[in-house]
Chain A
């Protein structure tokens, strides 16, 4: 079974631009979560989607948004980019929404904001 895939793998943008990242979960997985990883803040939860609905949201400004499609693929969008948005963005999928479910992570998209 193919793992979680994320595109693009690397991205360079300038301040004020917007960016869209894509995530394809493992086949059959319906929950997709997004995380931001930075050296200073570590891994921080952005949001989770299940059945095309945002179910849970972390403490990030409204510039960070996402959506999920009927095939469970998900996108996240960051508008009006700031230098501090430079990070590795990780997507994870799981079969269901339960505490014991394992989240499977993609390789990430590395975003650099100049």
Chain B
């Protein structure tokens, strides 16, 4: 079946450090892949997405590339800020049905 495996947290980084959050998926065919972010007390916000192999999604300095050969969609940011502290979720959507499969979430804390 479809599933998403996400890097365990929590992750603590100093401001301006490089961030990588690993995400791999299991799905037949070609799912769409998403990263969502959840700030404390809020719902999920779309961070970026990619809908086909080799697509790169990017937003607010975050990037992720859809790698079919390694079934991965790792999230990266070159220089994190305190305001990036949140929980990050990797998700996939498979054909129709609008059912998202979410990873377990990775909590990121950025310290000044």
A-B contact count (CB 8 A): 68
Interchain CA distance A106-B45 in the complex, whole Å: 9
The interface residues of chain B lying within 8 Å CB-to-CB of A92 are 44, 100
The interface residues of chain A lying within 8 Å CB-to-CB of B103 are 42
A108/B43 contact (C-beta < 8 A), A42-B105, A100-B51 known: yes
Which listed segment binds B: A43-51, A60-68, A71-79? Answer: A43-51
A94/B98 contact (C-beta < 8 A), A102-B46, A102-B49, A106-B43 known: yes
Interchain CA distance A101-B104 in the complex, whole Å: 21
Among the listed A42, A43, A48, A106, which residue makes an inter-chain contact with B98, where contact means beta carbons less than 8 Å apart?
A48
Q: A48 to B102, Cβ gap below 8 A? A: no
The interface residues of chain B lying within 8 Å CB-to-CB of A45 are 99-101
Q: A99 to B46, Cβ gap below 8 A? A: no
A97/B102 contact (C-beta < 8 A), A102-B46, A102-B49, A107-B42 known: no
The interface residues of chain A lying within 8 Å CB-to-CB of B93 are 99-101, 103
* Interface SS of A by simple majority: strand
A15 within 8 A of B: no
The interface residues of chain A lying within 8 Å CB-to-CB of B104 are 42
Q: A105 to B34, Cβ gap below 8 A? A: no
A50/B98 contact (C-beta < 8 A), A99-B51, A100-B51, A102-B34 known: yes
Interface size on A, residues (CB 8 A): 27
B28 within 8 A of A: no
Q: A99 to B43, Cβ gap below 8 A? A: no
**A57, chain B: closest CB distance, angstroms:** 9
Beta-carbon contacts of A11-25 to B below 8 Å, as 1s and 0s? 000000000000000
The interface residues of chain B lying within 8 Å CB-to-CB of A43 are 89, 100, 102, 105
Quick one: which of B43, B96, B102 has the most chain A CB within 10 A?
A: B43
Interface residues of chain A, those whose CB is within 8 Å of chain B, are 4, 31, 33, 35, 42-43, 45, 48, 50, 55-56, 58, 90, 92, 94, 97-108
Please, could you name 12 A-B residue pairs with CB atoms under 8 Å apart, sorted by A?
A43-B89, A43-B105, A48-B97, A56-B99, A58-B99, A92-B100, A99-B95, A100-B32, A100-B49, A103-B98, A105-B45, A107-B43
